[in-house]
């Protein structure tokens, strides 16, 4: 085998996803893009706020704008801008040395996991979960372990407690959640914080909480509680991929609670892993986001689509919890086998992702980062697919 043995499985699962894209492209070619309803991708289509382009142009036209290497964790003035913003939002006393600018949330996850985990240690994540975690765990030489969530996809604290062992180094959560759209409440996060403290004492080993929050700003009338309030040994990470619709520009950061055990050492290690993988986050977009703290896309656009989609699916007989955040719906598959149902949807030219891909069998994921006409045009197909299995 010309490639590393350990890569074979990873390439196979990547090629499954590629096949799905290829199938989508084939359907679009055959039936016309307007007749295929593609809800498979979480790629934001809402335009970035106009101030993004304006800031970019100002930076490009300014001869003092830097395009060279900088301190590997990022420009100090940008990290300071992020720390100031987070202090204003969460009153946490962050300093810029505890912030690392990264290549998106994926970069921040890779940095943090590789900084914290010894080979063979466990990352615990509530299922269902974002598929990328499998790859980041692989790169960190760690095991991804799951704990089931409650039927409403909120945290099942008893299940989490039962799943923690002496091998657990990291608890990884994601709220608002991909794929379920759930936003964890302050009470459940407080419960999680207490539980992690007790488990850390019990096993004589600090368990760190990583909170993956790229959808923090994409919420509909609810607030996302601060994880910094519930457990000091926390690393919060995020990106501008969704909140500024800059997914392709690859810019994000991680921030370590100042009271986290060995916070400075973790920041140093995350800075070094950042350097080893990518050298530094993109220079131009660091400078853009440094000037745009607190700016967000028009969330009303996503909310309108969510409401429209929920109404149509409900009328077609689908069951789901109305998501409070992110831009995904996670309906129950009307038949037990979600892969089979996704294939039935495909016959109606509707593309969805089976829940089993997220560790959530029996459900399927629909992304509404798509134009309204795609949502409206799909309802007949959803009805026909339901009628077929009823």
Residue nearest ligand PLP, CB atom distance: 104
Q: How far apart are CB 299 and ligand PLP at their closest, in Å? A: 16
Q: How far apart are CA 43 and CA 40, in angstroms?
A: 9
**SS3 at position 190:** helix
Bridge partners of residue 209, in order along the sequence: 171, 234
| Residue entry with tokens 């007949």 | 380
Q: How far apart are CA 107 and CA 239, in angstroms?
A: 9
Binding mask of the shown chain, residues 27 to 56, with x at each position contacting ligand PLP by CB under 6 A:
---------------x--------------
Going from the C-alpha of 321 to that of each of 182, 193, 263, 362, 374, the distances in angstroms are 9, 26, 38, 14, 21
Q: Could you tell me which residues come within 8 angstroms of residue 273 by beta carbon, excluding any fewer than 6 positions away?
A: 110, 111, 114, 115
Q: How far apart are CB 214 and ligand PLP at their closest, in Å? A: 5
Q: How far apart are CA 156 and CA 150, in angstroms?
A: 5
Q: How far apart are CB 101 and ligand PLP at their closest, in Å? A: 12
**119-158 binders of ligand PLP (CB under 6 A):** 130, 132
Is 183 or 385 the residue whose CB approaches ligand PLP more closely?
183
Is residue 180 part of the contact set for ligand PLP (CB under 6 A)?
no
For 304-309, which contacts have Cβ atoms below 8 Å and span 24 or more sequence positions? 304/372, 305/368, 305/370, 305/372, 305/375, 306/220, 306/368, 308/372, 308/375, 308/376, 309/366, 309/368, 309/375
Binding mask of the shown chain, residues 252 to 291, with x at each position contacting ligand PLP by CB under 6 A:
x---------------------------------------
Q: Which member of 149, 168, 174, 274 binds ligand PLP (CB under 6 A)?
A: 174
Question: Which range in 26-34, 239-247, 291-299, 353-361 contacts ligand PLP by CB under 6 A?
Answer: 239-247
Is residue 106 part of the contact set for ligand PLP (CB under 6 A)?
yes
**295-314 binders of ligand PLP (CB under 6 A):** none
Question: Which range in 100-108, 154-162, 337-345, 352-360 contacts ligand PLP by CB under 6 A?
Answer: 100-108
DSSP strands (E only) in 249-302: 252-256
Q: How far apart are CB 110 and ligand PLP at their closest, in Å? A: 9
Question: Which range in 25-33, 99-107, 138-146, 351-359 contacts ligand PLP by CB under 6 A?
Answer: 99-107
Which DSSP string do the residues of 18-56 spell out, in sequence order? HHHHHHHHHHHHHH-GGG-EE-------SPPPHHHHHHH
Bridge partners of residue 234, in order along the sequence: 209
Is 191 or 214 the residue whose CB approaches ligand PLP more closely?
214
Is residue 178 part of the contact set for ligand PLP (CB under 6 A)?
yes
Q: Which member of 20, 59, 105, 123 binds ligand PLP (CB under 6 A)?
A: 105
Tokens of 266: 């973790």
Is 174 or 200 the residue whose CB approaches ligand PLP more closely?
174
Q: How far apart are CB 250 and ligand PLP at their closest, in Å? A: 7
Is 132 or 258 the residue whose CB approaches ligand PLP more closely?
132
Q: How far apart are CA 325 and CA 307, in angstroms?
A: 12
Binding site for ligand PLP (CB under 6 A): 42, 104-106, 130, 132, 174, 178, 212, 214, 239, 241, 247, 252
């Amino acid at each position: 085998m010309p490639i590393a043995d350990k890569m074979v499985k990873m390439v196979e699962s990547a090629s499954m996803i590629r096949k799905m894209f290829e199938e989508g492209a084939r359907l679009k070619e055959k039936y016309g893009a307007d007749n295929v309803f593609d809800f498979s991708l979480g790629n934001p289509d809402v335009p970035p706020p106009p101030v993004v382009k304006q800031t970019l142009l100002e930076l490009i036209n300014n001869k003092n704008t830097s395009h060279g290497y900088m301190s590997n964790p990022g420009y100090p003035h940008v990290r300071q801008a992020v720390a100031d913003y987070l202090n204003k939002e969460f009153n946490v006393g962050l300093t810029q040395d505890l912030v690392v600018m990264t290549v998106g949330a994926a970069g921040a996850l890779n940095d943090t996991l590789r900084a914290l985990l010894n080979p063979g240690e466990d990352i615990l994540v509530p299922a269902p979960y974002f598929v990328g975690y499998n790859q980041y765990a692989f790169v960190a030489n760690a095991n991804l372990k799951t704990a089931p969530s409650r039927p409403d996809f909120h945290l099942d604290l008893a299940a989490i407690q039962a799943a923690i062992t002496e091998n657990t180094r990291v608890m990884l959560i994601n709220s608002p959640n991909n794929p379920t759209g759930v936003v964890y409440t302050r009470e459940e996060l407080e419960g999680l914080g207490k539980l992690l403290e007790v488990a850390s004492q019990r096993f004589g080993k600090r368990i760190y909480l990583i909170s993956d929050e790229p959808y923090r700003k994409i919420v509909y009338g609810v607030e996302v509680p601060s994880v910094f309030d519930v457990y000091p040994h926390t690393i919060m990470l995020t990106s501008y991929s969704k909140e500024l619709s800059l997914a392709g520009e690859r810019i994000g950061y991680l921030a370590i609670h100042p009271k986290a055990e060995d916070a400075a050492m973790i920041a140093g290690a995350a800075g070094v892993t950042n350097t080893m993988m990518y050298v530094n986050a993109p220079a131009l977009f660091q400078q853009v986001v440094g000037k745009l703290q607190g700016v967000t896309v028009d969330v009303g656009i996503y909310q309108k689509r969510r409401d429209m989609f929920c109404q149509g699916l409900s009328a077609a007989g689908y069951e789901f919890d109305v998501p409070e955040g992110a831009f995904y719906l996670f309906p129950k598959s009307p038949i037990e086998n979600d892969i089979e149902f996704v294939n039935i949807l495909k016959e109606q030219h509707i593309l969805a992702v089976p829940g089993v891909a997220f560790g959530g069998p029996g459900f399927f994921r629909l992304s509404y980062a798509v134009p309204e006409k795609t949502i409206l045009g799909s309802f007949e197909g959803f009805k026909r697919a339901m009628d077929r299995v009823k």
